[in-house]
Amino acid sequence: MADQLTLPKNTFYILEASFSDHKELSIHVEMKTAVITIHEYIGKDVPTDHITLTKVAVEPKQLSAQQIPWSTIAVELIKAVKK
């Protein structure tokens, strides 16, 4: 199914970016792919305060969500650019 997401781990990431005329929301199974998309958004001059990345953990009877701090995203961006 095209609308089905299979998780290799019990976590996924929700990336949200606000543009002047719309919002984009994407789901990533790895933080690395979300960071690559963030890098593309920054290249399109999307202000960092208009970008949020949330980690969602699927636990036996609940979901937990935690926003990823920009300090963590910055380190991952540096790693991605070095490659």
> What interhelical angle do 70-82 and 31-43 show, nearest 10?
90
- Residue identified by tokens 């960071």 is 35
pLDDT tens digits, one per residue of 52-66: 999 999 988 999 999
SS3 at position 45: coil
Rounded average pLDDT over 40-47: 92
Whole-number pLDDT of residue 83: 66
Task: Measure CA 49 to chain center.
Answer: 14
pLDDT tens digits, one per residue of 4-32: 777 888 999 999 999 888 899 999 999 99
Rounded average pLDDT over 58-78: 93
Q: Where are the alpha helices (DSSP H) in 1-83?
A: 31-43, 70-82
Domain ranges of the chain: 11-82
Using a cut of 0.85, tell me whether the model's pTM lies above it: yes
